[in-house]
């Protein structure tokens, strides 16, 4: 190797190196500063001037920088981690509201405005220890919390990621829910404090609504078959046992020394019911494929002992009787407690069950012989299912029926029936249907709900997320509402429930276009429902993640909530006199950070309450909603650009080759859908976005805008500068543009370019050149580099246009500022690429492998090229066992032997020079993948 310059193993040195290389672009347009740094680091490793451990430590330092910056932004979002300041904001709004009189105050605080849903999926990339250290640093930053961050960054977390499972995810959501429930209690206390001051003679008449808490962790079967119905029931029983115990403890604490007979008896009853429910949970937490165990568990639960509490009204009725005569302090506490019970019922959260539309269609097609896929949105099937739903008579269900049923959809409806009969009869259950594209599917769900007697407690909610659903969602609901049976169901429930999926929508047509399409659907559905004059509300559940690529606007909570349910939508509903109930998701390891301790939970919940109490700003003069010709031309052009990218074979190859190996395991649900479509469509939204992040190109958010409306560029700039809505959409894309790096992407192409390896082989000693040529032969017929460069070229043209548009905006950062902001990321990508190249060379040095191992050196090289380094190490350990020393059981043999006590049968040199270093590289690369996520504020 010829590099003799000092290795840039500090951030300042790396930044200087990158700046110097970037300056050469004026002389050599093909200059790539990221690959130049990667090549320099690679040469230093090969020459022994630096080590894997030194590069790993440098990456850890960069990780600390990025996670600290993320913590600073997180703290700012959370009122500087000051819960009192957050609640003071809410209190001020309530005091202003109280000035309007008791009736107005009562109507406002008792109105059902929606709530928060805790979802999971693969978003647990960071270990719990690192996330806890992050939260501590957000809450009270100091040298100690920063040192704790670095300590956990340095730890090997590969086993944490491998060990992620559903039980662990459920434990984590329960912790988040516990903190969220504490925030609920604070909000109730704030309401009552204000009311007692403003309305000393009337406040006891209040029955405040607390924004609800719900969870689908353990109940979501969309895209997975690994959750047995008994596991979901076990979770629900545990949640009930925990919540009843908490209710008893809270009631005992607030009662204090007051000896009020009904409360004392209720406390005893709550404790007994909690204990019995915990016992039921243990019975269900067994292998219920054994009929004897199933019968024992089922009989214990369904016999309904005297200690059982089956409906939350059994608790609230006692409170209703006690509150009028209790002293003021106790009465206020009991009213707040009653509000909590009415919000949560007999669980730690409300349940969201989720299935896929295909699972419902299977029942309709197989059991009823109806076709739901005709072009007229299933009109014949819809009418027939409507009639079946109208005439359906409930059937009895027991646990044997659940045991024997093979259909996922039917099983979920049966489980609903059993939960309502034997666990919590008063709790509303949401039944979400993913990938809804056909109204007959929803009607089929209503038929099944009526068949199993759960329609009065089940909110059937279609999820619109696919391109087809985004296009036809408004007509979908219009068609359903034309069916008298469905309209009757909506009136019975008091509201229509719908769900919008920002994640998948953004994957298919780009995030900005998806946001526009979802806003349109919100309003089309609101208009269709209001036209029925049915005196019902519209419940909109917007599922979105924490990152810019899944719909969460990366600014304040107010901006985030207005992004997913816009002021224009809220104003439109108000004009139509249509009450809106809004729910949003906080997803997995990243979302649960917002509820990771009481302070975070209170600031998050307070922000939600503040938004629920506020009126939306006036949008009547926003040109986004008056220049519809320009806006929708922009939308169609942007959507078409992303749809072309999504089906581009090079894009599919980019997401499916080595890049998939850069994405760590982050959840219990698989990254790819099994069966059905292939390519990018098979990759789940979070994994799709995470892969783009790891390559440095969040293209689904940053790209496409530059290529839209090129002939109308001046008018588009004017619209962005004058429209708050359009400005926020472009700011979302700008945030993604700041952390988009084409040099990083092109550098990966160089890593996989066969010609680079031929060139490198000419610069090393002859005895090492063979390993380089082995890498060349492994890549000779590989199209990875070609595909990467093609996508980079496509993005380069588009982002160049976007940059020229940004230069005309009022408040966009300059290209120089954006480049400076990416230097940390560039250094991380360069370290990773140097380690990748070193790994290729290491495996290229392997000796020929015996045929008995059913693997060749070429197979192992392919594994490493695909970034399956950990799997390759495991295989190499089996192929080349380490030598045994004398401290083995064989030393006890009395018969003389020549080699058994020596190292002759081992491969210590291969372990020392190849296998061990590959393991170190795998660990370092794992850490780099985690570090990169912080630049995007979330995994995926």
What SS3 class is residue 832? helix
**Between 437 and 319, the higher pLDDT residue:** 319
> Taking 80 as the threshold, does the pLDDT of residue 904 lie above it?
no
To the nearest 10 degrees (0 to 180), the angle between helices 649-656 and 685-694 is 80
Measure Cα distances from 251 to 208, 267, 309, 423 in Å.
18, 7, 16, 21
The residue behind tokens 């399956």 is 868
pLDDT level of residue 569 (50, 70, 90 thresholds): very high
Choice between 364 and 218, residue whose per-residue pLDDT is larger: 218
Report the distance separating Cα 11 and Cα 33, nearest Å: 15
**Span 572-599, mean pLDDT?**
97
The Cα–Cα gap between 436 and 438 comes to 6
Determine contact, residues 507/655, Cβ cutoff 8 Å. no
CA distances from 335 to 47, 201, 322, 702, 773 (A): 73, 15, 10, 49, 76
pLDDT value of position 374: 47
Q: Is 308 helix (H, G, I), strand (E, B) or coil?
A: coil
Q: pLDDT per residue over 74-129, tens digit each?
A: 999 999 999 999 999 999 999 999 999 999 999 999 999 999 999 998 899 999 99
The residue among 899 and 656 whose pLDDT is bigger is: 656
CA distance 449 to 445: 6
- Give the rounded percent of residues in the chain with a pLDDT score beyond 70: 96
Q: Is the pLDDT of residue 4 over 60?
A: no
Confidence at 3, pLDDT banded by 50, 70, 90 = low
Name the band, by pLDDT with cuts 50, 70 and 90, for residue 670.
Answer: confident
Identify which of 495, 553, 549 has the alpha carbon closest to the alpha carbon of residue 525: 495
For residues 318 and 268, the answer to whether their CB atoms sit within 8 Å is: no
- pLDDT band of 377, cuts 50, 70, 90: very low
Q: Is the pLDDT of residue 731 over 50?
A: yes
- Which pLDDT band, with edges at 50, 70 and 90, does 6 fall under? low
With beta carbons less than 8 A apart as the criterion, state whether 310 and 427 touch.
no
- Cα distances (angstroms) measured from residue 821 to each of 76, 740, 831: 19, 10, 18
Q: What pairs with residue 214 in β-bridges?
A: 117, 350
CA distances (Å), 624 to each of 510, 619, 630, in order?
19, 9, 9
Query: Which CA distances in Å does 912 have to 376, 563, 842, 848, 870?
Result: 67, 54, 11, 18, 16
What gap in Å lies between CA 455 and CA 428, rounded to an integer? Answer: 10
- The helix-helix angle for 357-368 and 379-391 (nearest 10°) equals 80
Could you read off the pLDDT of 136-145 as tens digits, one per residue?
A: 999 999 999 9
Tokens of residue 69, six digits? 């910056």
Q: How far apart are CA 480 and CA 188, in angstroms?
A: 38
What was the pLDDT predicted at 370?
73
Query: What is the Cβ-side half-sphere exposure of residue 552, based on CA atoms within 13 angstroms?
Result: 20
Evaluate whether 570 touches 108 at the Cβ level (below 8 Å). no
Is the pLDDT assigned to residue 163 strictly greater than 90?
Answer: yes
**Residue 529 CB neighbour total at 10 angstroms:** 24
pLDDT for residue 376 is more than 50: no
pLDDT digits (tens, 9 = 90+) for 688-724: 999 999 999 999 999 999 999 888 889 999 999 999 9
Q: In whole angstroms, what is the distance from residue 318 CA to residue 268 CA? A: 13
Across the range 150-176, mean pLDDT stands at: 97
Closest CA to 494 of 454, 541, 447, 459: 459
Q: Which residues, 6+ apart, have CB-to-CB distance to 245 below 8 Å? A: 270, 271, 274
Q: How far apart are the first and last CA of the chain?
A: 38
835: helix, strand or coil: helix
Please check whether residue 323 is in contact with residue 315, taking contact to mean a CB–CB distance below 8 angstroms.
Answer: no
Neighbouring C-beta atoms of residue 252, cutoff 10 Å: 16
The helix/strand/coil state of 33 is: helix
Residue 298 has pLDDT above 80, yes or no: yes
């Amino acid at each position: 190797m010829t590099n003799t310059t000092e290795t840039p193993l500090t951030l300042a040195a790396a930044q200087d190196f990158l700046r110097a290389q970037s300056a050469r672009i004026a002389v050599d347009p093909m200059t790539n500063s990221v690959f130049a740094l990667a090549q320099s680091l690679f040469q230093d490793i090969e020459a022994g001037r630096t080590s894997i451990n030194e590069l790993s430590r440098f990456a850890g330092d960069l990780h600390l920088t990025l996670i600290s910056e993320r913590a600073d932004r997180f703290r700012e979002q959370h009122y500087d981690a000051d819960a009192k300041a957050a609640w003071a904001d809410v209190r001020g709004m309530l005091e202003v509201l109280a000035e309007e009189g008791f009736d107005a105050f009562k109507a406002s605080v008792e109105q059902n405005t929606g709530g928060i849903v805790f979802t999971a999926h693969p978003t647990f990339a960071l270990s719990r220890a690192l996330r806890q250290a992050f939260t501590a640093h957000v809450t009270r930053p100091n040298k100690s919390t920063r040192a704790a961050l670095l300590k956990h960054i340095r730890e090997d977390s590969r086993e944490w990621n491998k060990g992620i499972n559903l039980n662990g995810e459920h434990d984590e959501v329960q912790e988040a829910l516990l903190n969220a429930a504490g925030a609920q209690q604070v909000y109730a206390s704030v309401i009552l404090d204000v009311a007692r001051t403003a309305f000393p003679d009337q406040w006891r008449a209040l029955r405040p609504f607390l924004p609800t808490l719900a969870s689908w962790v353990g109940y979501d079967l969309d895209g997975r078959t690994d959750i047995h119905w008994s596991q979901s029931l076990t979770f629900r029983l545990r949640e009930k046992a925990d919540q009843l115990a908490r209710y008893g403890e809270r009631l005992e604490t607030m009662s204090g020394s007051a000896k009020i007979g009904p409360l004392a008896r209720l406390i005893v009853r709550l404790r007994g019911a909690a204990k019995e429910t915990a016992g039921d949970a243990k019975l269900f937490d067994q292998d219920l494929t054994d009929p004897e165990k199933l019968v024992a568990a089922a009989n214990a639960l369904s016999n309904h002992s005297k200690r059982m509490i089956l409906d939350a009204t059994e608790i609230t009725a006692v409170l209703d009787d006690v509150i009028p005569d209790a002293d003021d302090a106790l009465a206020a506490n009991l009213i707040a407690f009653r509000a909590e019970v009415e919000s949560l019922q007999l669980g730690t959260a409300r349940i969201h069950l989720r299935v896929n539309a295909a699972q419902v269609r299977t029942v309709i097609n197989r059991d009823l012989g109806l076709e739901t896929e005709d072009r007229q949105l299933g009109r014949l099937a819809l009418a027939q299912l409507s009639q079946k739903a109208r005439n359906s008579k409930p059937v009895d269900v027991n646990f044997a029926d659940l045991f024997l049923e093979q259909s996922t959809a039917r099983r979920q409806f049966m489980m609903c029936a059993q939960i309502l009969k034997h666990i919590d009869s008063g709790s509303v259950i949401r039944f979400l249907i993913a990938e809804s594209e056909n109204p007959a599917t929803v009607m089929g769900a209503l038929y099944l709900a009526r068949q199993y007697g759960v329609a009065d407690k089940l909110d059937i909610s279609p999820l619109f997320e696919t391109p087809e659903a985004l296009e036809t969602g408004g007509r979908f609901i219009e068609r359903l509402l034309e069916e008298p049976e469905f309209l009757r169901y909506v009136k019975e429930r008091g509201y229509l429930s719908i769900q919008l999926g920002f994640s998948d929508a953004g994957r298919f047509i780009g995030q900005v276009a998806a946001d526009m399409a979802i806003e349109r659907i919100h309003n089309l559905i609101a208009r269709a429902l209001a036209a029925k004059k049915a005196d019902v509300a519209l419940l909109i559940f917007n599922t979105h993640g924490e990152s810019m690529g899944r719909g969460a606007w990366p600014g304040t909570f107010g901006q985030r909530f207005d992004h997913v349910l816009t002021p224009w939508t809220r104003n439109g509903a108000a004009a139509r006199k249509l009450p809106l109930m809004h729910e949003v998701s906080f997803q997995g390891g990243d979302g649960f950070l917002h509820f990771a301790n009481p302070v975070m939970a209170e600031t998050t919940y307070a922000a939600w309450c503040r938004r629920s109490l506020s009126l939306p700003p006036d949008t009547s003069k926003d040109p986004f909603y008056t220049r519809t010709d320009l806006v929708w031309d922009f939308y169609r052009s942007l959507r078409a650009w992303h749809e072309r990218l999504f089906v581009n074979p090079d894009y599919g190859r980019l997401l499916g080759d080595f890049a998939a190996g850069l994405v760590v395991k982050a959840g219990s649900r698989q990254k790819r859908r099994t069966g059905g479509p292939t390519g990018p469509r098979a990759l789940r939204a979070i994994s799709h976005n995470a892969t783009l992040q790891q390559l440095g190109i969040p293209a689904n958010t940053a790209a496409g805008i530059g290529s839209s409306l090129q002939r109308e560029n001046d008018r588009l700039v004017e619209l962005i500068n004058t429209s708050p809505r359009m400005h926020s959409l472009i700011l979302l894309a700008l945030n993604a543009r700041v952390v988009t790096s084409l040099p990083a992407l092109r550098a990966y192409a160089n890593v996989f370019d066969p010609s680079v390896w031929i060139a490198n082989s000419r610069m090393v000693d002859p005895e090492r050149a063979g390993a380089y040529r082995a890498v060349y032969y492994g890549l000779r017929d590989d199209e990875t580099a070609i595909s990467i460069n093609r996508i980079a070229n496509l993005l380069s043209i588009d982002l160049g246009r976007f940059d020229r548009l940004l230069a005309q905006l009022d408040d966009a950062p300059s290209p120089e500022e954006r480049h400076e902001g990416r230097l940390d990321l560039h250094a991380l990508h360069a370290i990773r690429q140097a380690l990748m190249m070193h790994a290729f060379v290491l495996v290229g040095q392997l000796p020929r492998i015996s045929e008995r191992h059913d693997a060749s050196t070429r197979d192992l090289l392919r594994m490493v090229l695909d970034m399956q380094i950990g799997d390759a190490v495991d295989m190499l350990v089996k192929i080349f066992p380490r030598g045994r020393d004398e401290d083995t059981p064989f030393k006890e043999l009395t018969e003389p032997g020549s080699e058994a006590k020596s190292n002759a049968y081992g491969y210590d040199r291969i372990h020392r020079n190849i296998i061990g270093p590959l393991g170190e590289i795998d660990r370092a690369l794992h850490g780099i993948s985690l570090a990169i996520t912080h630049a995007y504020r979330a995994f995926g």
